[in-house]
Amino acid sequence: MAGEAVASFQAHQIPPTVAASISSRIHGRRLGLPVRAGHSNIAADPAPRREQRKPEKALNLPSSISSILHLNLDTHLPTNLLSVLHLSGNDHRSPKDDVLSHYLKNTPTASPKENIAAIWREIHGARDWAGLLDPHHSWLRREIVKYGEFAQATYDAFDDDRFSRYCGSCRFGRSRLFSQLGLAHNGYEVTRYLYAMSHVEMPTWVERSLHAETWSKDSNWMGYVAVSSDEETRRIGRRDIVVAWRGTVTATEWSKDLQQRLEPLHDAGGKLHHDHHKDVVKVEHGFRSLYTSKAESTRYNKTSASEQVMEEIRRLVKMYSNRGEEVSLTVTGHSLGGALALLNAHEAAAGGIPGLSHVSVVSFGAPRVGNAAFVGELEELGVKVLRVVNQQDLVPRLPGAFFNEDLGKIFPVESLDWVYSHAGVELEVDTTSSPYLKQSMTDLPAFHSLETYLHLVDGLGSVVGAFRREARRDVALVNKACGLLRDELKIPACWYQPSNKGLVRNAHGRWVVPERDPEDIPSPLRHRAPAPSPSRSPNSQGAVPYLVAA
Amino acid sequence: MAGEAVASFQAHQIPPTVAASISSRIHGRRLGLPVRAGHSNIAADPAPRREQRKPEKALNLPSSISSILHLNLDTHLPTNLLSVLHLSGNDHRSPKDDVLSHYLKNTPTASPKENIAAIWREIHGARDWAGLLDPHHSWLRREIVKYGEFAQATYDAFDDDRFSRYCGSCRFGRSRLFSQLGLAHNGYEVTRYLYAMSHVEMPTWVERSLHAETWSKDSNWMGYVAVSSDEETRRIGRRDIVVAWRGTVTATEWSKDLQQRLEPLHDAGGKLHHDHHKDVVKVEHGFRSLYTSKAESTRYNKTSASEQVMEEIRRLVKMYSNRGEEVSLTVTGHSLGGALALLNAHEAAAGGIPGLSHVSVVSFGAPRVGNAAFVGELEELGVKVLRVVNQQDLVPRLPGAFFNEDLGKIFPVESLDWVYSHAGVELEVDTTSSPYLKQSMTDLPAFHSLETYLHLVDGLGSVVGAFRREARRDVALVNKACGLLRDELKIPACWYQPSNKGLVRNAHGRWVVPERDPEDIPSPLRHRAPAPSPSRSPNSQGAVPYLVAA
C-alpha cells in the first residue's frame, strides 16, 4: 500500500515530503478514521443533510473502494412502486403491471410553468441556494430540469456513428435543433454552435468517422449558445443566455484518460491578479486543452471553443443590454461538459462584460476541475455553482478521489495548490431513492447517465430522501441509453435510436445511409445567427421527427 | 479423451459395444486418419466439388475442433472488392470508398424474372439438381433466393421483444405480412399462420413475454402457408404451395439444448410400412416434439403444428387440383426451421394427398434430423431436398458432428439406426468467397445467419469458387442482425430495428409501447383464410412501413 500510495502521489505531482507524511495517515484512514472524501462544501450547506445519511454498506464493488468513495451501495429494498404512486394493485381484474402501465401512460409529463421573475436570482444562487435545496423548492427543481435538458440535447443530437460522414457533428442544423428534439417548449433559440479540437490530449473523447472524406477531421461539435425568447424572458425575469457543453457518452473511458495534471490556468500575462491568494490558480490540463486549443489550418477551430463562446456571449449581452434588459448567463453541462461549463463561467465572469449581471453554473455529474485557488477565484468573481451529484456516480469523485479539498481539514499542509477541489454547492441525489429504478448497484455508467440525473432531480421533494409522489417527468427517458428501469415498467433498454440505425431504402430498393438534409450539413459559415429575431416565438408544438416512430 | 468419448457415446445412446470399438478409432483419427466428418451425399452429387476444395487450415478455433469439423477457416485474403465489381479506384478525385459507395447505392437489386415453366421440375430436384449446381444455374439461384426470403420473413416479422404483450407472435396480420416486409413482389399470398407449443423440451428456443397477460402463454408463431398468385403460377408452371418454418435467432443456444436423442418417428400404429428397411425410422426428439405437440387447454395449439399445416395443405391442394391445376409443395426453413421443413415434407409426401404432384425442401443451415432410415424413407417418397450449407456454419454439423452418415463408410457396424444422417443434395456456399465480408472467421452466429446464406447464394456463379460479379442482391441486408460486412461498406451492424425500439410518444408526451393495430393482434380465429381470391394480385409496389425510416 505504501509503495502504491507514493506512486500515486507522483502521478499527482505531489511534493515528495508531503507525500511521505500523507502516506502514513492514509494507512490510518483505512483503519477507521472518520474521513469523508469526495464531498465539497465550499459554499454554505443550507441543511444538515450529511448527518441524516444512512450508514453505508459496501456491496458489489470491492469493499475498500466502495467505502473509501462513500458510494452508499445499500441493500435496502425499494419503496413499493404502486404505493408511491397511490395506486392499488388489488383489483383482481387488473394485474399490477396493468395498473402501473395505465398510470404511466396517461398522466401529463410536466407541471404547469410558474412565473419566477421575482426570485430568479435566488434560484440561480444569489444566496447560495440557502433554504431551497432541502426540502427542495419546486421552482428551482423545474429550472434545474430545464438546464439539464439543454445539456441532454448535446447528447441526443450528437452524431456518434463512425459510419457517418458527419460523425462528430450535430445531426441537426442550429435553427431546428430544439424543434427536432422536442425542446421548443422551453422557449429558447440557439444562436451559435461551438466546436473544439479533437486532437487534444484526451484520446477517447472524440468520435471519428471511418470515411476518408468527412465534414471535419479536426473538430467535434461541443455544444451551443442559446437565448431566451421574449415570452420566456418575461417568465424568468431577465434575458437568459444559456451555454450547454457536451460531455462524453463513454464517461468511464475518458475518466481513465484524464491526465490528472493540474496546470496554471493563467499564462504569465494573465488578466487576473491574485496576490492575496497564496496559491497559483490551476486547472486540469486536459479540460483546459479542450477549451482553448485551436489551429489556423482547421475549418471549425481557427478559433478555440473558448474564443467562440466568449465572442457570442459578448455579442448577445451587448445586444440585449443595449435594449435596457437585464442579462444573465447560465452555463450547463454534464460530466466533461460540466467541467467545461466551469471554465467557461470563470472566463465569462472574469471578462468584465458590461451588462452581464449574473453568472451561474448548473452541472450534472461533473468532475473536479481545478485547485482551491481556482475555486476561490470563482467565488470572488461571484460565479454561483450548483453541482448536482448522484451519490452512486463515480465521476464527481474524479480527479482527486483520494486527494481533494477535504485534505486541508485533516492535514496541516501549508499549500494545497496540487489538490483538486470542487466548486460551489452540491445538490445530492440518490439512485436508491427512486422506486422506478433497479437496485442492482453495479451499473456505474447508468448512475452517471444524465437522464438518470434528471429523473432523480424530478423526484426530489419536500421530504428528505423520499421520491416525490407527484414527479411527472417521463420515466421512460431513463432507459434512453441504459437499462436502469425496473422490468415491470416494460421499457426496453437503450431504446433511443433511429429506425434501422438510420438506413433508408432508396429508389433502387437498396438500404443506404441517406444524404443529410442540406440544412443539417455542418458549415463553418452557418454556426452563428446574424441576430435572433426577438419577435419570433419558438413553436411550442414543435414536431419531433427523429424521435417519432415510423 | 477416451473418458469423454464414452460419455459422449452415452449421451448419443450408442450401444456400449459399438462405443468401445469406435473410441479407439477416434483416437486414431486424431492422429491423422483421413476421415471426413459432417458431409452427406446420400443423393447423387452431380459435380466433383469435394476434390476441388482447397487444403484446410485451422485458424481461430482450437485447431482440433476446426480440423475435425472441416470448417475450412483459411487465411487467404479476399479478392479486391473494386476489381470484382469492375470498378476503378484510381480516379484521384474520388476516394475508393466513394466509388464503391456510389456503385452500391445506384444499381438495381434484382435481375429480371425469367419464365421457368418449362424446367420447374428440374429446378425442384426432379433430376437431383444434376448439372444445375456447379456451375450454378441462374434460374435455380433466383428460386432459392425466393424461398430463402420466405424463410427470412419468419424472422423479420417475429416479435421477440420480451417487453411486448405479443412477444412470440407475428408482428403483422396474415393478410399484410408480405406487403409489410416488402415481399409482395414475389407473388404469393399467405393463407394460414402456424403455431407450435412453447412448452416442449427445447428450453431456449421460445420467447416469453414479461407481461402477466399476454396473447398466449403456450404458443409461439412458427411460420405460415402461402400460395402463388395466378401471375406467379403462370411464370413458374404450376400452382406452388409454400410452407415457411421459423428457426431460432439464437441458434447457437438451442443447438446446445438439443436432446440429441433419436426416437421412432412413427407410433406403433404408424401409417408407413417399412419392412424392407432393416432399421426403424428415427428422428430427433426435440424437433418431433415441437412439430407434434398440442394441448386442448391452449388457444393456439389445440392442434399441433403438424395438424395445422397438413390441414391447410390438403385444403389448398384439393381446391386447386379440382380446378385442374398442377400443384406443388415447397417447404422451406432455416436452422431449426429447416429441420421442421423436413418433417413437414415427409408427412405431406407420406399423406397420399390426391393432386399433389411434387414435394421439395429448400433448407438453409439446417441440422440433421433423423437417421439413415428416415433419409431412405424421404427418398422413397420422392421428397427432393436441397440443403444449402455454408462451409463455415457449425449448425449443419449438428447433431451428429462426430457420429453421422459417414460412419458407415469406415466402420463395419451392422446397424446405424442410432446415427444422424443428412438428407438430399447439399449446395455448399463459402463465407470466404465473398469480397464483401470480413474475413475474421470467429463470428460463428454470423456464418449461420440466413441473410449471410442468401448473400452467398446470390454470389454463386458460373465459375466455381468465385463470387459472381453480377450479384445484385442488396449486400446491406447481411448486416441486419450481425456485423459481417466489411467496414468499407459503411453499413452499421445489426441495423434491423424499429425507431426507438418501437416506443412512440403519446398524446401526453410520454414514450410508450404502442397498442398494436387491431389487424395485427393475433387471434385464433383469423389465422386461416376462408379461400384466397385467385383474381387478387399481390401489390408489387407494397409499402414497407416498418422498414422505412421516419
Q: How many CB atoms lie within 10 A of CB B93?
A: 5
Q: Which helix (H) or strand (E) holds B222?
A: strand B219-228
Residue A136: the pLDDT is 86
Task: Report how far residue B343's alpha carbon sits from residue B337's, in angstroms, rounded to the nearest whole number.
Answer: 10
Pick from A30-34, A93-97, A174-178, A468-472: least confident: A30-34
Q: How far apart are CA B391 and CA A548, in angstroms?
A: 42
Domain B35-76+108-429+497-520 has CATH 3.40.50.300: no
What is the distance between the alpha carbons of residues B218 and B302, in angstroms, rounded to a whole number?
A: 10
For residue A427, pLDDT over 90 is answered with yes
Q: CB distance B210–A487 less than 8 Å? A: yes
Q: Reduced to 3 states, what is the DSSP secondary structure of residue B262? A: strand
Active site residue A448: yes
d(CA B433, CA B72): 12
pLDDT of residue A10: 42
Section B346-365 average pLDDT: 96
Mean pLDDT of the residues in chain B: 76
Which residues of A are less than 8 Å from B436 in CB distance?
none
Q: Which of B210, B490, B498 sits opposite A490 (nearest CB)?
A: B210
Interface touch A105/B510, C-beta < 8 Å: yes
Question: What pLDDT score was predicted for residue B310?
Answer: 98
Contact call for B509 and A212, based on CB within 8 A = no
Contact B430, B390 (CB under 8 A): yes
C-alpha cell at A540: 411550442
Arithmetic mean of pLDDT over chain A: 76
The alpha-helical segments, DSSP class H, found in A400-481 are 407-410, 444-448, 450-458
A517 an active-site residue? Answer: no
Chain A environment of B212 (Cβ under 8 Å): 95-98
- Is residue A192 predicted with pLDDT exceeding 90? yes
Distances (CA, A) of B485 to A213, A370, B461: 20, 46, 20
Interatomic CA distance for residues B336 and B355, integer angstroms: 29
**Whole-angstrom Cα distance, residue A237 to residue A186?**
15
Residue A165 three-state SS: coil
Q: Closest Cα to residue B383, out of B46, B137, B126?
A: B126
Please give the pLDDT value at position B85.
Answer: 58
The residue-averaged pLDDT of A471-490 equals 91
Which helix H or strand E contains B6, and what residues bound it? helix B2-11
Give yes or no for residue A205 having a pLDDT over 80: no
Signed CA dihedral, A151, A156, A159, A160: sign only: positive
Residue whose entry in the numeric block shows the C-alpha cell 437499462: A483
Amino acid at A28: G
For residue B362, pLDDT over 50 is answered with yes
Could you count the other beta carbons within 10 Å of the beta carbon of residue A29? 15
> B478: which 3 cell numbers?
447481411
Q: Assign A478 to helix, strand or coil.
A: helix
Query: Which candidate in A335, A360, A421, A449 is catalytic?
Result: A335
Question: Nine-digit cell at B285?
Answer: 426428439
What residue ranges in A325-409 does DSSP mark as E strands? 327-334, 356-364, 370-371, 384-390
Map grid coordinates 416506443 to a residue: B503
Looking at residue B550, its pLDDT comes to 26
B211 interaction partners in chain A (CB closer than 8 Å) = 97, 490
Inter-residue contact B515 to B521 (CB < 8 Å): no
* SS3 assignment, position A341: helix
Peptide bond into B396 cis (omega under 30): no
Distance, in Å, from the CA atom of B145 to the CA atom of B152, rounded to the nearest integer, reads 10
Residues in A closer than 8 angstroms to B98, CB to CB, are 212-213
H-helix or E-strand containing A149?
helix A138-156
**According to the model, what pLDDT value does residue B412 have?**
59
Cell of A419: 489538490
Q: Who among A510, A513, A550 is closest to B499 (CB)?
A: A550
Helix locations, B417-510, DSSP H:
444-448, 450-459
Q: Which residue among B104, B494, B498 sits closest to A499, beta carbon to beta carbon?
A: B498
Contact (CB<8Å) A544/B505? yes
Tell me which of A293-307, A530-544, B364-378 is least confident.
A530-544
Grid cell locating A417: 495548490
Mutation target for B interface from A490, A491, A496, A513: give the one with most B CBs within 10 A: A490
Rounded average pLDDT over A428-436: 91
- To the nearest whole Å, the CA of B211 is away from the closest chain A CA by 8
More confident residue, A330 or B266: A330
- Residue B229 CB contacts under 8 Å (≥ 6 apart), including other chains: B187, B188, B189, B534, B536, B537, B538
DSSP state of B186: G
Residue written as grid cell 439446417: B366
Average pLDDT in the A374-399 region?
Answer: 92
Tens of pLDDT, residue by residue over A128-156, are: 999 999 888 989 999 999 999 999 999 99
Is B353:B310 a contact under the CB 8 Å cutoff?
A: no
Q: Measured between alpha carbons, how far is residue B396 from residues B87, B138, B330, B449 in Å? A: 36, 25, 20, 12
> Is pLDDT above 60 for B534?
no
B505 contacts in A (CB within 8 Å)? 182, 544, 547-548
Strand order in the sheet with A356-364: A188-197, A219-228, A239-245, A327-334, A356-364, A384-390, A425-429
Least Cα separation, residue A98 to chain B (angstroms): 9
Please determine, for residue B285, whether its predicted confidence score (pLDDT) is greater than 50: yes
Q: Hey, of A511, A517, A544, A547, which one would you mutate to test binding to chain B, going by the most B CBs within 10 A of its CB?
A: A511
| Pairing mode, strands A425-429 and A384-390 | parallel
Confidence (pTM): 0.76
Cell numbers describing residue B339? 429441420
The residue assigned the cell 422551453 is: A186
Least Cα distance to B546 among B262, B260, B171 occurs for B171
DSSP secondary structure letters along B389-433 = EETT-SGGG-S-SSSBTTHHHH---S--TTSEE--SEEEEE-GGG
CB B256 within 8 A of CB B266: no
In the block, which residue shows the cell 457536451?
A246
Distance CA B528, CA B194 (A): 9
Nine-digit cell at B143?
Answer: 428460386
Residue in A closest to B161 by C-alpha: A492
Collapsed DSSP state (helix, strand, coil) of residue A246: coil
Contact A105 B509 (CB under 8 A): no
Instruction: Verify cis geometry, omega within 30 degrees of 0, for the bond prior to B435.
Output: no
Distance from CA of A233 to the nearest CA of B (A): 25
Distance from CA of A481 to the nearest CA of B (A): 11
Determine the pLDDT at residue B184: 93
How large is the C-alpha radius of gyration of chain B? 23
DSSP-derived letter for residue B239 is E
Task: With CB atoms and an 8 Å threshold, state whether B548 touches A505.
Answer: yes
**Dihedrals phi, psi of A82, to nearest 5 degrees:** -65, -35
List chain B residues with CB under 8 Å of A546: 550
Sign, CA torsion A260/A262/A263/A265: positive
Question: What CA–CA distance (Å, rounded) separates B166 from B161?
Answer: 8
- Are B511 and A474 a contacting pair at CB < 8 A? yes
Classify residue A210 by burial, with Cβ atoms within 10 Å: 0-12, 13-18, 19+.
middle
CB pairs under 8 A between A and B: 158
What pLDDT, on the 0 to 100 scale, is given for residue A16? 44
In chain B, the percentage of residues whose pLDDT exceeds 70 is 66
Task: Judge contact between B19 and B6, C-beta under 8 A.
Answer: yes
Q: What are B20's three cell numbers?
A: 468401445
Contact A203, A257 (CB under 8 A): yes
Which residue(s) pair with B429 in the sheet?
A: B390
Are B508 and A106 an interchain contact pair (Cβ–Cβ within 8 Å)?
yes
Average pLDDT over residues A449-477: 88
- C-alpha grid cell for residue B464? 466455381
> Is B335 one of the annotated active-site residues of the chain?
yes
pLDDT bin (cut points 50, 70, 90) of residue A290 is: confident
Contact assessment for residue B395 and residue B414, using Cβ atoms and an 8 Å cutoff: no
**Nine-digit cell at A370?**
481545478
E strand or H helix at B454: helix B450-459
The span from the CA of B485 to the CA of B473, in Å, is 14
Q: Which residues of B touch A476 (CB under 8 A)?
A: 503, 510-512
- What is d(CA A402, CA A64) in angstroms, rounded to the nearest whole number? 12
Least confident of A95-109, A290-304, B72-86: B72-86
Question: Which pLDDT value is given to residue B297?
Answer: 85
Contacts of B106 in chain A (CB under 8 A): 508
User: Distance (Å, rounded) from C-alpha B528 to C-alpha A115?
Assistant: 61
Closest of A44, A347, A318 to residue A191, by C-alpha:
A318
**What pLDDT band is residue A273 in, cutting at 50, 70 and 90?**
very low
Cell of A357: 449581471
- Between CA B270 and CA A277 the distance in angstroms is 97
Nearest to B503 by CA among A287, A547, A5: A547
C-alpha cell at A305: 471553443
Tell me the per-residue pLDDT of B184-238, one tens digit each, with 9 for 90 and over: 999 999 999 999 987 665 555 556 676 667 777 788 899 999 999 999 999 999 9
Find the angle CA(B161)-CA(B166)-CA(B172) to the nearest 5 degrees: 95
Predicted confidence at residue B468, as pLDDT, reads 86
Judge whether A172 and A194 are in contact, CB under 8 Å: no
Q: Residue A448: how many CB atoms within 10 A of its CB?
A: 24
Write out pLDDT tens, residues B472-496.
Answer: 899 999 999 999 998 888 899 999 9
Phi, psi of B358 (to 5 degrees): -155, 130
The band of A48, judged by pLDDT with boundaries at 50, 70 and 90, is: very low
Bridge-based pairing state of the strands A219-228 and A188-197 = antiparallel
Q: pLDDT grade, residue A489 (50/70/90)?
A: confident
Contact B107 A511 (CB under 8 A): no
B550 and A503 within 8 Å at the Cβ level: the answer is no
